[in-house]
Amino acid sequence: MHGQGPAHGQGPAYGQTPPYDPSYGHAPSHGQGAAYGQGRSYDHGHPYDQGRPPAGPAYEGHAVEETRPMPIVPDMPDVPAGGGDGEQDADRGTARLNGPLFRDDQAPRPPREPSPAAAPRQAPSQQQQQPQQQPQPSSRRAEPPKAKKSAGRDLGAAIGVGVGLGVVIVASLFIVKAVFVGVIAVAVVVGLWELTSRLQERKSIKAPLVPLAIGGAAMVVAGYVRGAEGAWVAMALTALAVLVWRMTEPPEGYLKDVTAGVFAAFYVPFLATFVAMMLTADDGAWRVLTFLILTVVSDTGAYAIGWRFGKNKLAPRISPGKTREGLVGAVMFAMVAGVLCMEFMVDDGAWWQGLVLGVCVAGSATLGDLGESMIKRDLGIKDMGTLLPGHGGIMDRLDSLLPTAPVVWLLLVLFVGS
C-alpha cells in the first residue's frame, strides 16, 4: 500500500518534507505523481475517477498559500524506483502538456499523440494561448439587391432590325404592290423552313419542305390575283402535294409527317394570304399599313405596360412573361391606334370602327403569340430561329401577324367594303 507523495517532478514545498497525511484522501495528480498504469493501487477505497479533472499538487495544511505556483524543475536527481529516464521523460512530457508556467521557461518538447481511447483535456493555459476566434457572422442574411427588370433581348439590335424591316415593307408597299407580294412570299418560305426544321430536330417529324415552299408561295400569289377563291384552291393543292410527296419515303411516320405538313401549310402561307387580299382594294396599301401598325402597337403596349406594371400572370403555363396588365395595355394602345388609323388612313372609316378594330386586333395578336409559345414549349425551344438579331427568327415576328391578318381583312370588308 503506497501513500501519496508530492507531485512527481516537484520537490518538497520550501524544503519541508512533511509526511503524507492520509486524512486528506487526495489521489496523486495524473501525470504528476507515479506514472499512470504502473501497477500502483490505492487502498483508501477511492479508486481514481477518470471522469473528474486531475487534482493539483497537494500541499500541507499549514503551508502558506502561494499566489503563483512554483516552476517545474526540469532535472530532478530523485527518480522513483522503476521509473528510469523513460518515465521521467514521460512525466515531463505530460507536465509540458499543461504548458510552461513562465514565459522564460524552456521550450517544451513535442507533445505525445493522445491515445484514441481517451483524449487529454486541454489545460487552461493552452486555452489562453489559442488565438481568439473570429466573431461569427450574423445569422441574419443581408437581403440581395433587387434585380432590375430586363427585356431579355438585345434592344438595340431589335430596334435596328425592326426599323430596317419597316423601311423595306413600307417602300415596297407604296411603290409597287407586286414587290410587296414578293416580300410576303419570301417571308412565308423562310417561315416554313424554320418551322419544318424545328419539327425535324426536336420531334423527328419530317414535314416535306419542297411542296410546302412551292405551294405556299403560289398560295400568296393566288390570293392576290384571284382573291379568296384562289387562296382556297391553292391551299387544297398544296395539301394534296404534301400527301403525294411523302409517299416516296418509307411508311413509318407517314401520318404524323403529312399532318404536320398540312398544319404548316395552313398556319403560315394560308393565313398570310389574307394580307395579299387586303392589298387588292383601292386603298389596299393603307389597309395593310393599318393592319401592321395595329399589330405592332398592340405588341408594344403589352410589353410596355406588362414590363412596368405587370403582376398577374395571363397564362403562366404557356408564356410566363405575359400578364393581364399587359393585355389591358395592348387593348388600350390598339384602340387608340385603331381610332387614328380609321379616321385618317382608311377611306370611309369611322372612329368607333377603330375602337372595335383595336380590341379585336389586341385579342388576336395575343392569341397568336400564345399559340406559337405553345408550339415552342412543346418543341422545347425559345426561338424558332436566329435569322433576325434581337428578334429570333421570321416566325417569331409572324406569330402575332398571321392570326391577325384574317381578322383585320374581315372587319375592313364589313366596315368599308372590299
Q: What stretches of 251-389 adopt beta strand conformation (E)?
A: 313-315, 319-323
SS3 321: strand
- C-alpha distances (whole Å) from 18 to each of 62, 118, 340 are 10, 34, 118
For 338-356, how does the pLDDT look when each residue is reduced to its tens digit (9 = 90+)? 999 999 999 889 999 999 9
**Residue carrying C-alpha cell 477511492:** 46
Angle at CA of residue 343, ends 338 and 347, nearest 5°: 110
* Signed CA dihedral, 409, 414, 417, 418: sign only: positive
Show the cell assigned to 250: 418509307
- Residue of 107 and 271 predicted with greater confidence: 271
The yes-or-no verdict on residue 190 having pLDDT over 60 is yes
pLDDT band at 12 (very low <50, low <70, confident <90, very high): very low
| Burial status of residue 359 (CB atoms within 10 A of its CB: 0-12, 13-18, 19 or more) | middle
What CA–CA distance (Å, rounded) separates 276 from 289? 12
Q: What pLDDT is recorded for position 14? A: 44
The yes-or-no verdict on residue 86 having pLDDT over 80 is no
Q: Could you write out the DSSP letters of every residue in 88-140?
A: HHHHHHHHHTT--SSTTSPPPPPPPPPPSSSPPPPPHHHHHHSPPPPPPPPSS
Residue 393: left (phi > 0), alpha (psi -120 to 50), or beta?
Answer: beta
For 51-64, how does the pLDDT look when each residue is reduced to its tens digit (9 = 90+)? 455 544 444 444 44
- Residue of 69 and 249 predicted with greater confidence: 249
Most confident of 81-85, 89-93, 145-149, 245-249: 245-249
Beta bridge mates, 313: 323
Nearest to 393, CA basis, from 404, 405, 379 = 379
Q: Could you write out the DSSP letters of every residue in 210-266?
A: HHHHHHHHHHHHHHHHHHHHHHHHHHHHHHHHHHHHHTTS-STTHHHHHHHHHHHHI
